[in-house]
Amino acid sequence: MSFEKQKSKFNNGGNKMKSTILKGLALALCAGVFSGPALAEIQERTIRVSNGVAEEHPVGNGVKAMTECMADKSGGKMKLTAFWSGALGGDLDATQALRSGTQEMVITSTSPLVGIAPALGVFDLPFLFSDEKEADAILDGEFGKYISDQMPGHGLVNLAYWENGFRNLTNSQRAVAGVEDIKGLKVRVMQNNIFLDSFQNLGANAVPMAFGEVFTALETGAIDGQENPVVTIDTSKFSEVQDHLTLSRHAYTPFMVLYSKPLWDQLDPEEQAILQECAVVGRDVQRKASRDLGAESLENVKAAGMEVTELTPEAQAEMREAVKPVYEKHAATIGQEVVDKMMAELKKLRGE
């Protein structure tokens, strides 16, 4: 065969190869244009979410809103199945199940998790936030992101901060309008060292106790008082065994909507985005429900005969001064950087 014929045959083969490649590229491009969403196809998923509270709690409103949002954004493919009142175990046990990848979600207060993530102890510090607006700004802003960014290192993903609410003091002995009135009262606190130290610094005889034991202990006089959000005080019927409520607003511990990091990594980015967006939708509904119910609960306990005392700014300032040592004592455990960052953000927010 002559050189020219060989050259012609080679060129024809090359042209055929180029044509094949071009057709392949065209098909790939068409697939990208017309089948792109299929590459990020949302799977049929039923996600279990654990709660320590009852369905009637404002968390129930948030879960309902989140469920509806997920159904809408996923075309009905992503569903939430909620388990209430610790049906899947306590908050700490459920959170450990997330870390091991055997459960998908839990909505829990930050307080039980300080053994897993010590930085969360910052939210237990007494008299940290002045009001709900301030709490929202911190949690939904840079500081909240700073804490959330630490969660994957503990095997968790925080989708949003919901509301547990400000905690307030009740007792059966006397109206509490200042530090002097707290002295000597036997007050149940959570089994948490920051809460224990806070009330001891205020002069109370702080008694750590599981929540399930509190009503009986109040009824029998084993303790004089306890502290919880007004909604919990109302729904737990503490007005039957407590005469005085002080709106001390001494602590604000948020809920976190947590997802298992091992299971999160198995989700498509589109599914992850839906969960994050819908957790925020649920957050807004849950916070409003919490605040509306808080106002309603306050009226309920007043109607039940509880005497309600509002602290003056001077009394709150006196209490803040009394608990300063708690900040100093626990900064090392929480992390000095965490505490400093929180205080810096609060100063900026307050224009100080």
pLDDT above 70 for 163? yes
Residue 207: domain span: 45-350
190 or 239, higher pLDDT: 239
In this predicted structure, what is the pLDDT of residue 190? 86
Contact 53, 85 (CB under 8 A): yes
Confidence of residue 45 (pLDDT cuts 50, 70, 90): very high
Q: Which amino acid is at 172?
A: S
pLDDT value for 40: 56
DSSP class of residue 113?
G
259/56: higher pLDDT:
259
For the whole model, what pTM was predicted?
A: 0.83
86-90, 204-208, 257-261: segment of lowest average pLDDT: 86-90
Q: Is 19 part of a structural domain of the chain?
A: no
CA distance 285 to 262: 28
How many other β-carbons are positioned within 10 Å of the β-carbon of residue 88? 19
Residue 136's contacts (CB-CB under 8 Å, 6 or more residues apart) are: 287
What confidence score (pLDDT) does residue 33 get?
40
Supply φ then ψ for residue 169, to 5 degrees.
Answer: -95, 135
Residue 188's SS3 state is strand
**Is the residue at 35 inside a domain?**
no
What pLDDT score does 52 carry? 87
Could you read off the pLDDT of 23-40 as tens digits, one per residue? Answer: 444 444 444 443 334 445
Q: Is residue 33 part of a domain?
A: no
Q: Residues 183-224: pLDDT tens digits?
A: 999 999 988 899 999 999 999 999 999 888 999 999 999 999
Confirm whether 140 is domain-assigned: yes
Q: Let me know if residue 40 belongs to a domain.
A: no
Q: What are phi and psi of 189, to 5 degrees?
A: -130, 165
Within-domain flag for 67 = yes
What's the structural domain count of the chain? 1
The predicted structure's pLDDT at residue 27: 43
- Which tokens in the block code for residue 190? 């959570």
Q: What is the mean pLDDT of residues 216-235?
A: 95
Angle at 195 between CA 189 and CA 197, to 5 degrees: 115
- Which CATH number does the domain housing residue 306 bear? 3.40.190.170
